[in-house]
Structure 1
């Protein structure tokens, strides 16, 4: 008997996340319905997190449900932002901290998702610096002109490549997404 497809809720910040995530989840096998919830910014994602975890846990009899939380690391960095997400679940959701087996994944681009776009779409910009703001860079400004095409290219380049060293936050995101497979 085949496993049921995983149904997901995806919390995210903005249109740049939206464009990337919709293409990524359309391309990833094993996912059924995906509900995308735009939260405007990082504080919106953090404010919604506890409610979405409670909703997921209230339906624990349905083993094929999952939550993906996408939030830029901003100046906090990857590990501090992940700690913040863990703390918010522990403080705001019933049932305490995220358990090892729960289908809750944290996707945290560092410094922001624009860094991933530049890394995945502009080979000449590698290696990217996850502490640098790429929003003002010529590479990002060019990609932003056609966000749809840039998202498609970034998602096509999403899988690890043997000849490419990916930024730590990108590798961590791939590992986190295994939680919701």
Structure 2
């Protein structure tokens, strides 16, 4: 039986998150037509605040669809911990009088510590400190396609369930979240 999602909704902060998710899914063979990335603020306000505010509405949409739909949420922890940012998402559901996400729901919350640039630096083979910002140092903003080869490495390792050697803690946590939706991506 094919359990592949007919639609994947992506709620993210910015273009780099968008490119990261689309490229990752492409390497998994997920057709671009099944991926719907919601508009993001594009420099107008806090991307994290936008994601947190829109999370309940998007989760409600996923829960109400009869066709298989997955939700991928990408929000940087910034100067907060990954747990604090995850709690921000949970609190937004609580404020909307919605139950938290169940383990069986096709929802993946990806929370890079500091920013997704930290993961990209690590994928380049460099040691990282999740308390530091690498946005300016790496310069992937406005040149997002230059990150494709790094994203491809991670996507392939995840596809093969290959153990990552000393990844940043937030990436390890994201891999656990990703496993929740593996079956709806692969159709297995």
TM range (shorter): 0.7 to 0.9
Give the Å deviation of 1:28.
1.9
Give, in whole Å, the separation in 1 of the partners of 2:150 and 2:97.
Answer: 33
Q: How does 1:120-159 map to 2 (within 5 A)?
A: 120-121=123-124, 123=125, 125-126=126-127, 128-137=128-137, 140-141=138-139, 143-144=140-141, 146-150=143-147, 152-158=148-154, 159=157
The CA deviation string for residues 21-41 of structure 1, in whole angstroms up to 9 with x for no partner, is 211111124677111113221
Give, in whole Å, the separation in 2 of the partners of 1:170 and 1:10.
Answer: 18
Match of 2:57 among 40, 51, 54: 51
Contact 2:10-2:35 at 8 Å conserved across structures: yes
Contact 1:54-1:93 at 8 Å conserved across structures: no
Q: Root-mean-square deviation (CA), in Å?
A: 2.1
Aligned to 1:73: 77
Give the Å deviation of 1:147.
2.5
Give the Å deviation of 1:168.
1.0
Aligned to 1:168: 169
Bigger mean CA offset, 83-92 vs 23-32: 23-32
CA 1:13 to 1:72, structure 2 compared with 1: closer, same or farther past 3 Å?
A: same
SS at match of 1:133: coil
Give the Å deviation of 1:162.
5.1
CA 1:20 to 1:153, structure 2 compared with 1: closer, same or farther past 3 Å?
A: same
Contact 1:120-1:153 at 8 Å conserved across structures: no
Contact 1:19-1:148 at 8 Å conserved across structures: yes
Give the Å deviation of 1:107.
0.3
Larger RCO (CA within 8 A; separation ≥ 6) = 2
Give, in whole Å, the separation in 2 of the partners of 1:2 and 1:163.
Answer: 29
Q: How does 1:74-89 map to 2 (within 5 A)?
A: 74-89=78-93
Give the Å deviation of 1:163.
7.1
Unpaired segments ≥5 residues, structure 2: 42-46, 183-188
